[in-house]
Structure 1
């Protein structure tokens, strides 16, 4: 029997991009998808756009929340699928066959993951993320940086605990590490599975986000190993920008 997938979209005042995300989910060739949309009481016409698709949605809630991770927890509480995927407004599932191909790649994994293609606000491709996904992934894989996008990871719902609301910008990293610690079967699909709109709250509050990430990584990996790892992250980042500057020149 094919597993059921709960796709959860979080949105607030994003009339520009929400329909693109909606269509990427609703045009999937995979037959058993439950689509849940949590809107934070948008005032810019976002709700009107969503309402046009209401008969194709499993759940649609529009109300004020305490932030993005509170909204994600609302969606998670409503999900009834075997797996959950967070595809936030502005992002897309990579192609109409993506979900079908993911579940065909290996039966019954705890986690599936893949590559992400980045896009700017005008939806021009920026190519692959700076961190390509690791060939194999476990809860220690983030020690040198977040190498898997939140939109590119399919998680068995039985492993998906609520997000820790003490984190305002990086609770998704804490969530993925916790899920991975409890997973026994993690499958690399070796394919692009998501399109990601660059930006979001973690970019808007970049320094606060980095501080939260450091705290999360220290919690799981230890303070001294985390300091050493961040030294290598800084070196790799500098090398990346030097290479790209030479390419651009």
Structure 2
């Protein structure tokens, strides 16, 4: 019998942070899930950590890949769960009752997409604050793909989608997660906001490290879904919103 949720962790040379991710998953008071780890042939101690927890991992590989989103596609292709949930190295499920609460909602409502807020944390685990409070991105409680016109409304680790509507990620775009969420939302018939936080998100990921390219790639994604003129007009709003937020 297939599990309800496939939790997927992508990792590369993340020995400092991987264990906190794994432990947050092992702490869940639920069993109706599988856990998949995709490692990009790490050269540090990442593989040793994976092997240490191997009996708790349903499926794992360690091999070269073409970057983050190529690895995420590998995870999608290995997943057998009804839903897929990415929790990458350094990120954590919020608390031990999070997955049980999520599974309860899934059995009650069978939505195509579930989403919530995310708690941002520093590398030492200290709290930065909820994403909807510490960034300019407000979180609508009735989300549609149109809400993404001004950028990514939902943190990727706080977005859980049915595997049957989840497309592959484009591997040549640093904002591929935005494209993925939009495509999932377009395909979803029922989308549900969760009144509890799904994850702790480790700040400083790939898109932050390559910020300028990420912004350019975001523009390309938004043009695909909203058109050039609308995206140009919306980017004026994005710049004004960011400016106002910085002044607060």
Report if TM-score (shorter chain) is over 0.5.
yes
Q: Aligned equivalents of 1:102 and 1:236: distance in 2?
A: 32
Alignment partner of 1:114 out of 113, 116, 120: 116
Matches within 5 A, 1:29-48: 29-48=29-48
Q: TM-score, normalised by structure 2?
A: 0.94
1:196 correspondence with 2:201: yes
Q: Aligned equivalents of 1:8 and 1:141: distance in 2?
A: 26
Gaps of 5+ in 1: 244-249
Cross-structure match for 2:158 = 152
1:96-135 CA distance string (max 9 Å, x none): 1111112323421100000001011222111011123211
Q: Aligned equivalents of 1:142 and 1:179: distance in 2?
A: 12
Q: Aligned equivalents of 1:140 and 1:7: distance in 2?
A: 27
Deviation of the 1:160 alpha carbon: 1.0
Deviation of the 1:3 alpha carbon: 6.0
Count, aligned residues: 242
Q: Do the aligned partners of 1:36 and 1:59 also contact (CA within 8 Å) in 2?
A: yes
Cα RMSD after superposing both structures: 1.4
1:224-249 CA distance string (max 9 Å, x none): 11111111111111111111xxxxxx
Alignment partner of 1:140 out of 143, 146, 167: 146
Matches within 5 A, 1:68-217: 68-105=68-105, 106-129=108-131, 130=135, 131-167=137-173, 169-217=174-222
Call closer, same or farther: CA 1:37–1:3 in 2, change over 3 Å: closer
Q: Aligned equivalents of 1:124 and 1:57: distance in 2?
A: 27
Cross-structure match for 1:52 = 52
Secondary structure at the aligned position of 2:89 is classed as coil
Secondary structure at the aligned position of 2:109 is classed as coil
Q: Do the aligned partners of 1:115 and 1:132 also contact (CA within 8 Å) in 2?
A: no
Secondary structure at the aligned position of 1:191 is classed as coil
Q: TM-score, normalised by structure 1?
A: 0.94
Deviation of the 1:219 alpha carbon: 0.9
Gaps of 5+ in 2: none
Q: Aligned equivalents of 2:164 and 2:78: distance in 1?
A: 13
Q: Aligned equivalents of 1:174 and 1:221: distance in 2?
A: 11
Secondary structure at the aligned position of 2:21 is classed as helix
